[in-house]
A and B are shown apart, each in its own frame.
Chain A
Amino acid sequence: MTALQPRAMRDALLERIWENMATDERLFFVAADFGAPTLDRIRGDFPKRFINVGIAEQNLINVSAGLALEGFKVFAYAIAPFITMRCYEQCRTNLALLSTVRPMNVTLVGVGAGYSYVVSGPTHQCYEDITLMRTLPGFSVLSPADHVTAGALFDRCAGQRGLKYLRFDAQNLPVLHGETAPDLNKGFTQLRDGSDASVVATGYMVHTALKVADKLAQDGISLAVIDLFDLSGFDQDALAALLAARPALISMEEGFSGRGGVDSLARDLLSRKGLERPTLGIGVEPAYRFELGDRATLHEQVGIGPLVAEARVRAFLKT
Chain B
Amino acid sequence: MEASGVNVDLRAKADWVWRQTLEVYRRAPEVRLASSLSPVEIFVSLYYGGLLRFDPQRTDWEERDRCIISKGHGSICMYPILADLGYFPAEELERVCQAGSFLGGIPDPVIPGYETVNGSLGHGLGVASGMALGLKVKGGAQDVFVVTGDGELHEGANWEAIMFAAQNRLDNLTLIVDDNRICMLGFTDEINSLGRLADRLGGFGWDCLEVDGHDVMAVHAALSHLKKTRDGRPKALVARTIKGRGVPGLENAPLSHVMSPKFETIDSLLREPQQ
The answer to whether the Cβ of A286 comes within 8 Å of any Cβ in the partner chain is no
Of B5-13, B31-39, B153-161, B180-188, the one contacting chain A is B153-161
A59/B126 in contact, CB under 8 A:
yes
Contact A67–B134 (Cβ < 8 Å): yes
Residues of chain A within 8 A (CB-CB) of B81 are none
Closest to B126 in A: A62
Interface set, chain B 108-142, CB cutoff 8 A to A: 109-110, 115-117, 120, 123, 125-135, 137-138
- A54-93: contact bitstring with B at CB < 8 Å (1 yes, 0 no)? 1010110111111111111000000000000000011001
In the bound complex, do residue B160 and residue A72 qualify as a contact, i.e. CB atoms below 8 Å apart?
no
The residue on B at minimum CB distance from A74 is: B130
- Of residues 82 through 117 on chain A, the ones whose CB sits less than 8 Å from some CB of chain B are 89-90, 93-94, 97-98, 101-102
Give CA–CA (A63, B129) in the complex, Å.
6
Residues of A within 8 A of B160 (CB): 53-54, 56, 58-59, 62
The reply to whether A58 and B117 contact each other, CB–CB distance below 8 Å, is no
Q: How far is B127's CA from A93's CA once the two chains are assembled, in angstroms?
A: 11
Q: Is the CB of A67 within 8 A of B116?
A: no
Q: Are A94 and B109 in contact (CB under 8 A)?
A: no
- Chain B interface, number of residues (Cβ within 8 angstroms): 28
Closest CB of chain B to A75's CB: distance in Å? 14
| Residues of the B chain whose Cβ atoms lie less than 8 Å from the Cβ of A70 | 130-131, 134-135, 138
Q: Is the CB of A51 within 8 A of B133?
A: yes
Are B127 and A94 neighbours in the complex by a CB distance under 8 Å? yes
Q: B109 — which chain A residues lie within 8 A by C-beta?
A: 98, 101-102
A48 within 8 A of B: yes
- B129 CB contact (under 8 Å) in A62, A72, A90, A101: A62
Of the candidates B117, B120, B129, B157, which one forms a contact with A66 in the assembled complex, judged by CB atoms under 8 Å apart? Answer: B129
Contact of A67 among B117, B131, B164 (CB under 8 A): B131
Q: Would you mind naming 24 contact pairs between A and B with Cβ atoms under 8 Å apart?
A: A28-B134, A49-B137, A53-B160, A56-B160, A56-B163, A56-B164, A58-B157, A62-B123, A63-B127, A63-B130, A65-B126, A65-B127, A65-B130, A67-B130, A67-B131, A69-B116, A70-B134, A90-B126, A93-B120, A94-B123, A94-B126, A98-B109, A101-B109, A102-B109
Q: Please give the residue numbers on chain B whose beta carbons come within 8 Å of chain A beta carbons, in ascending order.
A: 109-110, 115-117, 120, 123, 125-135, 137-138, 156-157, 160-161, 163-164, 167-168
